[in-house]
Structure 1
């Protein structure tokens, strides 16, 4: 009978408790990462603040053969540099930089305050019309016109490629690094810009309006994270039920529970650490991989090198919460195992019954006279 109980308890733990515990660890960790204000608002604002400086660095280095081996790509950047306008200056003239540092950054800041519980949830919408106006700004058209004027003349092949680009309205065709007939080239580029802008929405809603939504003092992010921890009740039910069936004493219950929790937490911890550091290694090693040359370009490598901290930060923000949740689960398992030894010691401690010892009383001696 005792063997049958252990078998049933082992089945519940092994086939139901451990798989659900493993999955819940990852689910809670990813939920915690995906709703954090640091991931959703602080990181994008940092990226926005670094865009102008990063764009200028890429613009300068893309003209150098040390970084860009493709001559056509270098020619385009060198022609753009001869205009005397840097990416930051172009952003300022078109109003794009003001929109990024103003409305876009403020909207993300408001979202962060909602997630942290500093304000009530309300609708937050990013107006994309300033972005569309910036892309169609006359300064952009003037910049493109000056860049085209600085390109070398086209040969027959270059003219054919420009004609194909114009016929496709800029779809699926790379621009040749040569100067065609300026009027037709300007028309083709303007049509491509207009098509891209028309496909964009006028606004982007990042948070819906919550009518009647109760204010959460802990913040939306912390509340969702806290509620996600209740998911652990699912594997806990299977593990504790299996331990209750298999164990024959309180010490055995704690030992079965702690060992099961530890066996469920350790694989999740090891896998989360492996995936995290594998992702960071892959980001670092991407330019040196064997498949890299099949699809990547020198310009892509240059951009990746300048913004490498972004995917690294994203990988860290995504997988670190999973690591901490798995570590916490492992500690819970260790605590249960430690408690099992304490319970066993108390249960096995012998009781010392009070034994009454009676000393026989010697009969009174009679004095012989």
Structure 2
């Protein structure tokens, strides 16, 4: 508080600084639900045409191309063909893998999906993908564009129901939250699981038989390859740790496949956000006053002393790699730090098929 008064402190611009990480609700001693109020305020601004320009560009991409990047379906199809994944058929496949905007179009993150597909094949899990995917609508919903969100949700639910899939697997925590929880408003309720959770159970124990999202299965390759143990740190995505409560499963996987995990400050159910959520993935640095969230988180991860940072969210990966590059460009300490997605880490240490 200062002599300018609350009206000067809490401006429209402040409403766009929230990443929807959920930390405020997690820490509130009286259980206030802040996010519905904040997103409601954003909804009002969007309806009046007062959204920031960077969100306007993203909305345009969603309306024109049904993905946040504004790219054509042919690029997704090239990736699907390159990894030889079939279109989902309930008579042949047990799981529908949802690629998401990052998995469909972001070349760096597609390496993680290749690793996930390798793991599933090694474990003899049958899976396919939709012939076409639209963004699940998460970026529109969290930034207050309810119209675009409902348009995308309605179309996706129609496609998902037509596929007859009852088990959905994805590597994007935002997709888990949106399809698995937000779509219930529209009467769509199926099992949606994050790959960290699924693969942790898939490689656990020695039971055989049909896989289940609520059970365990093993078969084929599952043992670590015998590579020497490595010190790593794990960044908990807000939508995986805080929202979904999946904090043990990633660590279980890392330890099983040869990692000694060094914990950063703010971890598990109370992680420090990467700064991507709530539309800030699309914002320029100038849109965030003070220290950028991703820069702060990168410093916290670097201070663990680990040279490998493992992530489990495509957008966390983008933000943290960007923060590392910014630190290096500014002449700050970066060290020999590499960023690896959890599926890539596990697959690289799993015994090869056959």
TM-score (norm 1): 0.27
Q: Which structure: greater strand fraction?
A: 2
Question: Which protein has the larger Cα radius of gyration, Structure 1 or Structure 2?
Answer: 1
Q: Which structure: greater helix fraction?
A: 1
Relative contact order (C-alpha < 8 Å, sep 6+): which is higher?
Answer: 1
TM-score (norm 2): 0.28
